[in-house]
Structure 1
Amino acid sequence: MTAPDINSPDEQIRYQRGLEVLNAVDGGSAPAVMENLADIAPALAHHIVAFGFGDIYSRPGLDPKQRQLVTLGILTALGGCEPQLEVHIRTSLNVGLTPTEIVETFTHAAGYAGFPRALNAITIAKKVFTERNLLPVKDD
């Protein structure tokens, strides 16, 4: 079985759609992620954009805030995804989630994913909030 040609017209349409969505929510860190993969896994970089954002994030039914809440919950539950969680905390702020909503998401996740994973997520959130001068978190 051969891998799909990431340069085919159909793949490029998916990729361009994904870039539009990614640029709308990301806040500028996506190019660095894609460049970091270019020399070792260009197809993975392509699929992150084409599938992740061109196919999944561009679907109707959930707005960007709702998608980020789901993503934060899943990454917290999975554990071991702290670099991706950091990116998605930034993205969550970019699409309008408040620090209080993000912290509440991790607090809620503690009941399902456990306190260690929720604490790991809060640690990453504190780092991002500190960088953006959003501490202390205030009730909205």
Structure 2
Amino acid sequence: MELNRFEQGVQKLAEVDGTAGENVINALKDIAPDLGRYIVEFAFGDIYCREELNLPEREMVSLSSLLTQGGCENQLEVHINGALNVGITPNKIIEIFMQCIPYIGFPRVLNAVGVARKVFATHKEAVR
């Protein structure tokens, strides 16, 4: 039986974020349930399920994109956690940020490193 976009998205979200993704969806149920559904269906059911990039590659792109936008610390926290969950090491996450310094500058990278420090301290797999 073929899964619908939402079911497929829920499975992929759990693969990336474990229970953290479910917590985000539940947090949106009372205020913006459609937003939660769109995130699951489109981002995880459609985009994350494409075969051209694997999950670590997708998380590296997500980290870089969020970092360059600035002001996305909450989402950066989610995706640092996701990156760790799919096998990206803390050192590699920091190196992704370092690579962006010439293009976006020190302030945004310093903010991202601060978020990473917080996630690494709480993530059970993050050993530096």
Shorter-chain TM-score bucket reads over 0.9
1:15 maps onto 2:6 in alignment: yes
- 8 Å CA contact 2:81–2:123 kept in 1: the answer is no
Deviating runs (4+, > 4 A) in structure 1? none
- 8 Å CA contact 2:16–2:55 kept in 1: the answer is yes
Alignment-derived partner of residue 84 in structure 1: 75
One-letter code aligned to 2:85: N
For the residues of structure 2 that align with 1:70 and 1:60, how far apart are their CA atoms?
15
Alignment-derived partner of residue 15 in structure 2: 24
Identity %: 46
Q: 2:96 aligns with which of 102, 105, 108?
A: 105
Q: 1:37 aligns with which of 28, 35, 41?
A: 28
Shift of residue 106, structure 1, vs aligned partner: 0.5
1:56 maps onto 2:47 in alignment: yes
1:55-74: CA deviations, max 9, x gaps?
Answer: 00000110100000000000
Describe the SS at the equivalent of 2:71. Answer: coil
Q: Which runs of 5+ in 1 are unaligned?
A: 1-11
For the residues of structure 2 that align with 1:31 and 1:41, how far apart are their CA atoms?
14
- TM-score normalised by length of structure 2: 0.93
For the residues of structure 1 that align with 2:17 and 2:55, how far apart are their CA atoms?
11
Count of aligned positions: 125
- 8 Å CA contact 2:97–2:112 kept in 1: the answer is yes
Greater CA drift, 105-114 or 62-71 = 105-114
